[in-house]
Structure 1
Amino acid sequence: MAEIMSERTRPMPRPDAPSGNGLGLGSVSGLFRSLADDITRLFTQEVQLAKAEVSVAVRDLKAGVLSLAIGLGVLLAGVGFLLLSAVYALSLVVQPWLAALIVGGVVSLVGIVLLLKAKKSLDPKAMVPERTIESLRRDQEMVKRSVA
């Protein structure tokens, strides 16, 4: 990234610098060649900068995903212990096997409800951008009317 910045801050040749034709101005073809070189260099530098930014973003994304996975693992362990304590507490009132069955059944029902809700929200029909499609239809009709 430092070499990108050093190339960007390099002084540009002045257009009024002597060029050897005696007039103090570069030839038109020389100016166009210089312009093409500058555009190529600028484009190359922009691509290098974009690559550097993307690699930093990917590195940060990897770190975030790793943190998320570790957090979810710890959370899962905590939920497991909470459910275990619910079984122990319920076993003071009913038989331990029945307490485990009740807690397991309730947790399973909650999981099923959450999965069904997630499945419904991931339905392809729910992801269709209705307003955008309608807006594009109106734009298409307007263009047809203005052309006709």
Structure 2
Amino acid sequence: MSATTPHGSQAVDDLRVETNTAPPPSSDASLSELISRLGNDVTTLFRQEVELAKIEIKGEAVTAAKASGMFAAAGVAGFVTLLLLAFAAAWGLAEVMPAGLAFLIVGVVFGSAAAALAMAGKKRFETVDLTPHATIETMQQNKQVLTDRKSA
């Protein structure tokens, strides 16, 4: 087993290792003991799958939160910049051209900058994947094991 998953989570691998810790049933165990053990194993398996999904989704949620923060900060910075520098630039240009044209030019420049920031934030959001791939993989493996046991 690898040291980390594709998402870099050692906790996911540690959780997978724990799924195979139950001792094999002895040949002289009663039916009620086997059913009890099966119930406990299914409960443990379900809890571990839920924990695996939480771990996997948490990593992507952190990435999404960081992207959201960057997007919000870009919006605030763009707004403050627009307010402070737009007036200064427009009044500076108004010294050599009509004031209306100067303000229009400055507005287009700052609008372009805001659009670039918005596209960068959108691009960062597109990299977020909240699908719990490791959980889906282990659930498919569990299904296959149960299917194989049922047919045996």
TM-score category of the 2 structures, normalised to the smaller one: 0.3 to 0.5
Q: Which has the higher contact order (CA 8 A, sep 6+)?
A: 2
Kindly name which structure, 1 or 2, has the bigger radius of gyration based on alpha carbons. Answer: 1
TM-score of the pair, normalised by structure 1: 0.47
Q: What TM-score, normalized by structure 2, do the two folds share?
A: 0.46
